[in-house]
Structure 1
């Protein structure tokens, strides 16, 4: 009977208000790889060093792919290099076998972190986790999920 109750407990949804750390990415992300962008339109504002890509935006760097309806590109003040990307309107992030979705995401190229916020869904093979916020560390290939982390733990027979 105890084993049956324990097995039933493991099949319940898992809620955690604390943060959860998970592996993320293919470990092949190259910080020096060029950032490739494709979109339906581009608007550049030279006065503040930004550009807005809109319409089916797809951004790639090495094995990393980010897709969203709109992405704001912020350039460093002292050069033509990208400082950060701010994606909005429903974002999909894929690296290797891992995929995540959220309402918004910010990719800071200096710190090599991606912050995804708003109804985050992370899938890794048959596993799925949800949370309010996820911070991906591309150098460590990890992600920290916070704010009502939820998953279902699947058990094999």
Structure 2
């Protein structure tokens, strides 16, 4: 019976991985739902503000915090909307790391649209959830629902209890 269980788990993992590679994967992200209406705090080594274009660029050791969500990157471009002091979106580039609860994701780029609470990560995306890991070309995280969708050559590594 133990051999059958191991074989069944192996086949199940293989089928899950094939399905994930072919169509993308929907996964939970973060232990709690985030609130995109909370204030955004940004720290960095330097800041360059362009009043005419309504943009601010943070450079070096950038850390963004909003409630329980944390994001770090080499650079962060803040684009303001026409409304006074309202952030439209954040564009992070270079070694981007997104952490929400116990989940963490890495990518080369992330774009966070504040109003919708959606972060799109692209470029060698790696999502870790405990001992499990998923990779893909892109991942769209909805902070308000606590979900993510991975697309573009998704690969999954699942650790079973037997290991």
TM-score by length of structure 2 reads 0.89
Report if aligned partners of 2:37, 2:115 keep a CA contact under 8 Å in 1.
no
Asked if 1:140 is matched to 2:145, the reply is yes
Structure 2 counterpart SS, 1:86: strand
Report if aligned partners of 1:87, 1:105 keep a CA contact under 8 Å in 2.
yes
Asked if 1:85 is matched to 2:90, the reply is yes
The 5 Å alignment of 1:45-56 reads 45-56=50-61
Q: 2:125 aligns with which of 98, 117, 120?
A: 120
Q: Number of residues paired by the alignment? A: 157
Q: Deviations over 1:46-84 (max 9, x none)?
A: 111000000000000000000000000000113211110
Give how far 1:5 is off.
4.3
Q: Quick check: 4-13 or 59-68, which moved more?
A: 4-13
Report if aligned partners of 2:36, 2:115 keep a CA contact under 8 Å in 1.
no
User: Structure 2 vs 1, CA of residues 143 and 74 (structure 1 numbering), >3 Å: closer, same or farther?
Assistant: same
Q: How far, CA to CA, are the matches of 1:134 and 1:152 in structure 2?
A: 16
Give how far 1:11 is off.
6.1
Q: Which runs of 4+ in 1 moved over 3 A?
A: 4-13
**Structure 1 residue runs without a partner (length 5+):** none
Higher helix share: 2
**Structure 2 residue runs without a partner (length 5+):** none
Give how far 1:38 is off.
0.4
- CA RMSD across the alignment: 1.9
The 5 Å alignment of 1:1-157 reads 3=4, 5-10=7-12, 14-15=17-18, 16-157=21-162
TM-score by length of structure 1 reads 0.92
